[in-house]
Amino acid sequence: MEKTERKSAIRIRGLKKVYKLYDKPSDRMKEAFGFKRGGVKEHYALNGIDMEIFQGETVGIIGTNGSGKSTILKIITGVVNPTAGEVHVDGRISALLELGAGFNMEYNGIENVYLNGTMLGFSQKEIDERLPEILKFADIGDYVYQPVKTYSSGMFVRLAFAVAINIEPEILIVDEALSVGDVFFQAKCYQKFEEFKKQGKTIVFVSHDLSSISKYCDRVYLLNQGNLLGEGKPKEMIDAFKQVLVGQYETEQPESGNPENALNPELLEYGTKQAEITEFYVTDERNIKTTAVIKGTDFTIHMRVKFHDRITAPIFAFSFKNIKGTEITGTNTMIEKAFLEPVEAGEEKAVSFRQKMSLQGGEYLLSLGVTGYQGSDFQVYHRLYDVLDVTVVSDKDTVGFFDMDSQVLVENVPRQADKVIPYRQEA
């Protein structure tokens, strides 16, 4: 019996994507006018990547934040152009990258279905035929007649996913979209994955939920800092990923010119600067600096604060938001009753918050602050909003924002016939 040759759906060869990082905005402008500046660094988001994804496969891409996962998906779908290398795609692609990308926020849900369908090359008649199935899958009720700017993030993804999977794509590209929405919707999406697999369609998705990667993927690619570390069965690559997170994965990697994890260029910083946060970082349970934490393990947030004035009772704080801007959790030294003392000008304090990571797998934005009270007036001395992107890596995501770490016990209940009825003697 002859062996059937597998057909390639996506073939990537020597893929590179280089971004220029400027010390100051003026350096970018000066270079645009032809002046050479020393304050320019090259950041390799991708550094010579080779991949091949075959028709009918479900392939996962995993790695730490900044490893290039989303960049690859954007290049495959044509959202971003590569610096070098080749990408060949054989098949109609439907992509869920940034939720609702291509939606007009002023249009209602149905108008956006037609807008997206038209952009994907469908006629009005073809969209008419698919509309009932799209609305049934999205299941957002009369909200389809409201502007999408009024939607919650959950409704947004339901509609976006419903459009993406009901246009009969040959290749489905998903970037973390299933981390939004309730457990019933997620289950419905994964059932659709199974249907797609049976129909011989190709799925490529990025997720920090390692349990989903393990359950649904045929193969997995592992990236780190723009380099391809390996490719193989899900369990093999997940084990390697965990070694990467604790600095124990040994490999020879090409020189990439990658800088260390940088400050968020979009951070919001303000305050009187009577006290100033001069250093901050996150460490894992082994006290190794990182921006990726394994769910269920201990981690510590560190910051160093320099005081330029005497402050009676400074308050040190942190908080986490999800990527949609919803504040998830946080605390401060006043709540924890951990530090309620005056600090003199010229002093420095090293502050650390240690806790167990209970957030679901995904990316979160860390904010830091030093505040206090002068009399009855609240003062902000220094705040850094969204200063670090912290990835939580999970092999089990529950419902909602965090995991209650439930202990489950299931026991047999004796059937009625099995119960022993005590003998009662007649009087």
CATH number, domain of 289, equals 2.70.50.60
Please tell me the predicted confidence (pLDDT) of residue 260: 44
The total domain count for the chain is: 2
Cα separation, 397 vs 361, in Å, equals 7
Q: Is residue 158 part of a domain?
A: yes
> When comparing pLDDT for 196 and 90, which is higher?
90
At residue 36, does pLDDT exceed 70? no
Q: Is residue 235 part of a domain?
A: yes
At residue 121, does pLDDT exceed 90? no
With the CA atoms of 326, 136, 199 and 70 taken in that order, what torsion angle do they form, in degrees rounded to the nearest 10? -20
Q: Which residues form the domain of 30?
A: 8-245
User: Tokens 């939607």 belong to which residue?
Assistant: 151
Continuous H helices in 109-166:
109-119, 124-138, 153-165
Cα separation, 45 vs 47, in Å, equals 7
Please tell me the predicted confidence (pLDDT) of residue 259: 36
With the CA atoms of 208, 213, 218 and 222 taken in that order, what torsion angle do they form, in degrees rounded to the nearest 10? 30
Please tell me the predicted confidence (pLDDT) of residue 181: 59
Residues 143-171 as b/e (b if ≥16 CB within 10 A, e otherwise) read: bbeeebeebebebbbbbbbbbbbbbebbb
Based on the fold, state whether residues 181 and 285 are members of the same structural domain. no
Based on the fold, state whether residues 272 and 241 are members of the same structural domain. no
Please tell me the predicted confidence (pLDDT) of residue 417: 62
Q: Is residue 304 part of a domain?
A: yes
Based on the fold, state whether residues 202 and 274 are members of the same structural domain. no
Q: Is residue 412 part of a domain?
A: no
Based on the fold, state whether residues 110 and 193 are members of the same structural domain. yes
The structure tokens listed for 336 are 């924890």
Secondary structure (H, E, C), 364-404: EEEEEEEEEEECCEEEEEEEEEEEEEEEEEECCCCCCCECC
Please tell me the predicted confidence (pLDDT) of residue 258: 36
Pick from 245, 277, 298: which residue ends a domain? 245
Using DSSP, state whether 259 is helix, strand or coil.
coil
Question: Taking Cα atoms as reference points, which of 70, 63, 20 lies closest to residue 323?
Answer: 70
At residue 306, does pLDDT exceed 90? yes
Phi-psi region of 98 (alpha: psi -120 to 50; beta: other; left: phi over 0): beta
Q: Is residue 401 part of a domain?
A: no
Based on the fold, state whether residues 157 and 54 are members of the same structural domain. yes
Q: Give the number of C-alpha atoms closer than 13 A to the C-alpha of residue 32, restricted to the C-beta side.
A: 6
Please tell me the predicted confidence (pLDDT) of residue 34: 64
At residue 426, does pLDDT exceed 80? no
At residue 240, does pLDDT exceed 70? yes
Q: Is residue 253 part of a domain?
A: no
Please tell me the predicted confidence (pLDDT) of residue 33: 64
Domain containing residue 175: CATH number:
3.40.50.300
At residue 100, does pLDDT exceed 60? no
pLDDT digits (tens, 9 = 90+) for 246-276: 776 665 444 433 334 556 667 789 999 999 9
> When comparing pLDDT for 41 and 251, which is higher?
41
